[in-house]
Each structure stands twice: as C-alpha cells, then as structure tokens.
Structure 1
Amino acid sequence: MQVIYEDNHIIAVNKACGEIVQGDKTGDETLIDQVKAYIKDKYKKPGDVFLGSPHRLDRPTSGVVIFARTSKALTRLSEMFKDKEAIKKTYWAVVDTLPENMEDTLEHYLWKDEGKNKSYASPTPKPKKGAKHCKLAYMHRASLNRYHLLEVNLQTGRHHQIRVQLSKIGSHIKGDLKYGAARSNQDGGIHLHARKLEFIHPVQKKMIKIVAQPPKGDVIWNELIQIKELKE
C-alpha cells in the first residue's frame, strides 16, 4: 500500500491492480483494512479507527483512491463524487487500437447485467429499462509500437464506464478480457489507471491535486512514463 496524500481529514493511496477497496465475497483483505492499520500504527490510536470510503475503483484497475478520516469529510466527499462538476477525474488507458479521432467526447446509455457483472452501452437513448446516460472525454497522449495511451476525463460515474465506452469504439484496454482485449495481463489487472483527482478540499476549502504514478515493474507503463510530455 502506497500513501500519496494525507491530512487530518482525508488520506489517499495509490491502489495496485488486484487490491479491493471494500469487502466482497472473496473475503480478501481490503484497502480500508490496510489504511486503518496504517493510521492506527502511525498515530498510535487506541480503539477503532474511523475510515470512510466515498468512492471505489474496480479490482483490476490501479490508481488514486481517497478515504475520509472524519465523518464530516466523508459526508462532503460522498456528495462531491455525485456531482460531476465537483471533482475532476483523470484516467490513463492503454488501448490496443487508436481511435478514429485523436480527441473526442463519447456519450452512451449504459446498463449493467448483475449476473455477469458486466455493463453494456448503446448510443440510442433508453435502449433498455434502467439504462443511464454516461459521458467521457478522451485525448490521445502517446503511442508505442503496439499500444496507445488515452487520457480520459470521466464526466459521469457508471459501472465499468471507461472500459465499456472505449470498447464500444473499438479501443480495448490492454488485459481487459471482459471488454474485448485479446489476452489477459499476467497480474490479472488491466491497463486502466486513475491518474489524478483535482477538487476543493471538503473541509480546508483549498485546491487539492493528487497524482498517482502507474504501476512499477510493468514494461508498458515504464515506457510511457519516460515520455517527457507525460511527466507532471
């Protein structure tokens, strides 16, 4: 677990592929458990440690995850994550095929199949009962021999949204078998990374920018991070 920001109200970590934010049927240790243990040890806190989760990332995805250390911060962050204007969410996605347009906005109507834990998208309004509007903007940032990096600004927060919307235009995220990639990654993760969150601090009211480096030890990410234009 890598802590990349912390203060009295919030703490952010750079989630690794395969880690889970909250508990699921696997019973695996969660990031919440790890962060609580970190806080308890670092600050010598007796008893239970309060930690709230205002959002989450898919298990195979890496990048910035924020937790609230106070109930006030949790309430306000939860509301902020519901407001598409309150938090700017920037992702990096490594795809197998370059989109037709180097920069574009994608809008679809998305619905989830609970049994398959998979989402589907259509450009047609209300293609299925319960379908919700989803929107993102992307731009091409770099290319390697076989793969291409897209920077994605997420404007709504739907289940597997980036994965299904990019797949819909023929750009499959590396390693994402569920949404059309040719093969899986060795670590079971996918090349989708929550690169950056920018927002007004829920308590201190100052601008915060939290940036997470892509997973170390991965050849593709290592090559991309060396590109001068991609460095913060």
Structure 2
Amino acid sequence: MEVIIKDAGIRLDKALAELTTLSRSQANDAIKSGMVKVNGEIKKAKYTVRVGDLITYEEPEQVELEYLAEDIPLDIIYEDADLAVVNKPQGMVVHPSAGHLSGTLVNALLYHIKDLSTINGVVRPGIVHRIDKDTSGLLMIAKNDKAHQTLAAELKDKKSLRKYLAIVHGNLPNNHGTIEAPIGRSEKDRKKQAITARGKPAITHFQVLERFANYTLVELRLETGRTHQIRVHMAYIGHPLAGDSLYGSRKTLKGKGQFLHAETLGFTHPTSGELLEFSVEPPAIFKETLEKLRQNKF
C-alpha cells in the first residue's frame, strides 16, 4: 500500500496511523519490522515526514477465521424471514475480536438464527449496527443481504429511531438539547474516541427524564452513530455516564460498566415497508440503581 504525505512536520508512526487503518502501536510495530519504507528507504518511527514523501508498507495477510455457533441464551424480541431484533445483555460483546473469540452475540446468533446476511463476512454475520459490550439493549439483525443493505442505508440516511436511557453525573442545566460535535479517534489514546476537528459529524439529542441529588436520568436519541458517541458527547458537556471507566469519573455508581441502555429501536421493514418500533426495559441493575437514587441512598 502507498500513501503520499501532504502535511509535513509529524513523526512517521503518527502519519502512518492517521493515513491508514493502523493504530499508533501497530504502525510502530510495522516500522520496526521493516515493513514500512519512506521513498524506498527504511526509517525509524521518529523520522519527521516531508511533503511529497512516498510511504509504502506491506499490509499483514488477513486470515479469515470461522466462528462456532454456541448455545447461549438469546432474547429475540422479533423475527421474520428478513430480520430479527434482539435484546443484548450488558457484558456481551457483539462480535468476535482479539480477546473475545467466543461468548459473543454472533456466536449466539449462529446457534439460534440459521440464516444471516453475509455482507460483513464470517466475523460479523447479520450485524447491521453495534453497541458497546457494557451497553444493553436492542439491535437489528439482518437475515439476508438485501435486508442488510436496506437497513444499513436507512441508518446512514438518519431515518432509523434509536433511543437510549442513561444515568449521567451531575445535573444538566437544560431539560433538553442537542450536542453536535465531530468524533474521531483520540490522538492521545488510541483506545478512546474524542471530539476532534478531523472527526466525523456526530449529533446526539437529549431529554432530561428525572433529576437526583448528583445524577440525572436522560433519554438520548442518536441522529448519527459514531463509535462511543453518547459516552463521548456526554463527557464533552461535563456529564459523563455513570459507571463509564473510560470516559467518566473514578468516583461513580457501582455496576457492571456504563449505565447505558438501548431502549427503543424503530425502522422501516425492508420488504413490507411497514414502520416497526420496539422497546425493552433496562436490566435489573439499572432499575435497582434508579430506585436507590430516588430514595437518596447514594
């Protein structure tokens, strides 16, 4: 693969990470292994790139893995010939990745739903959109490629309905509002997303549902669907999600991760054109925490 430098003055490893899908650490590893060359020569990671530099690197061979069906309990809210809607429990990873090769939603889907779309390959069959491991709630699953394309297009066109419940730190000054701030990968920590001018447009609408002493229950509606969007946007306005160890405060509500639940999902059926809408209650720990907040037990 080849990339040409148009903006000079940054390190080679950073430039490679920004211009490719590699993380900063992956870029460093590739440079150290001699897989990266600048104008035909091997350079160190600290080399400062210049305008017109031609960077070439060998992409590691992608190995397609086959994942097994696992008899994991799965809460299927709705299913027909084209799609399914499932209620993912908190703590379950959506699809296999490094460190999570089994026990994922995909492993469960392969067991319970025999026909799944193939657009995303063997690692993410049927997966149209994702939610984080510690976020609970509704996901749409495509059972064939035509349905997948239609559902994905509706998401891209911002026509799908996605509402979340969240418990956040502090008391928001307004009862409702819109957060519009671009989100991209953090330059300081590759595991995190951040508000950055180089990011993609991101819009989140919020509505206060209930106020407590030091926390607020909010409903959030996604207009876009960037990675960690709600978590990043709420932290950005000074009200991070309770239980969010990545973007939030160390002193927070005890639970099993961020208190975020994908409560409502609405979309147009890809075949019938019917408008479908589904809602599910948050998990027990979410509801129990709300009751304690109402009783001022925190």
Task: Give the TM-score band, short-chain normalised.
Answer: 0.7 to 0.9
Which of 194, 204, 207 lines up with 1:120 in the alignment? 194
- The structural deviation recorded for 1:202 is 1.1
- The structural deviation recorded for 1:222 is 5.8
CA separation of 1:96/1:187 partners in 2, compared to 1, >3 Å: closer, same or farther? closer
Distance 2:174 2:255 in 1: 31
- The structural deviation recorded for 1:145 is 4.4
- The structural deviation recorded for 1:116 is 2.9
> What pairs up with 1:28-47 in 2 under 5 angstroms?
28-40=102-114
Tell me, yes or no, if the aligned pair for 1:91 and 1:192 is still in contact at 8 Å: yes
Distance 1:215 1:33 in 2: 21
Q: TM-score, normalised by structure 2?
A: 0.65
Tell me, yes or no, if the aligned pair for 2:87 and 2:137 is still in contact at 8 Å: yes
- The structural deviation recorded for 1:173 is 0.5
Distance 2:89 2:255 in 1: 10
CA separation of 1:11/1:223 partners in 2, compared to 1, >3 Å: closer, same or farther? farther
Secondary structure of 1:172's partner?
coil
- In the alignment, what sits opposite 2:153? 79
Tell me, yes or no, if the aligned pair for 1:177 and 1:183 is still in contact at 8 Å: no
Distance 2:91 2:192 in 1: 18
> What pairs up with 1:52-131 in 2 under 5 angstroms?
52-84=126-158, 86-113=159-186, 116-121=190-195, 126=197, 130-131=198-199
Which structure has more relative contact order (CA 8 Å, sep 6+)? It is 1
Distance 1:213 1:5 in 2: 15
- The structural deviation recorded for 1:223 is 6.5
Distance 2:212 2:85 in 1: 30
- The structural deviation recorded for 1:189 is 2.1
- In the alignment, what sits opposite 1:11? 84
The letter for the 1-side match of 2:137 is G
In the comparison of the two structures, how many residue pairs are matched? 210
- In the alignment, what sits opposite 2:17? none
- In the alignment, what sits opposite 1:136? 204
- In the alignment, what sits opposite 2:279? 211
- In the alignment, what sits opposite 1:166? 234
- Once the two structures are superposed, what CA deviation does each residue of 1:111-162 show, in whole Å capped at 9, x if it has no partner? 213853211115xxx3xxx322211110101124442111111111111111
Query: By percentage of residues, which structure has more strand?
Result: 1
- The structural deviation recorded for 1:80 is 1.6
Q: TM-score, normalised by structure 1?
A: 0.82
Unaligned runs of 5+ in 2: 1-73, 115-121, 294-298
Secondary structure of 2:210's partner?
strand
- In the alignment, what sits opposite 1:43? none
Larger radius of gyration: 2
CA separation of 1:165/1:147 partners in 2, compared to 1, >3 Å: closer, same or farther? same
Unaligned runs of 5+ in 1: 41-47, 225-232
Tell me, yes or no, if the aligned pair for 1:134 and 1:155 is still in contact at 8 Å: yes
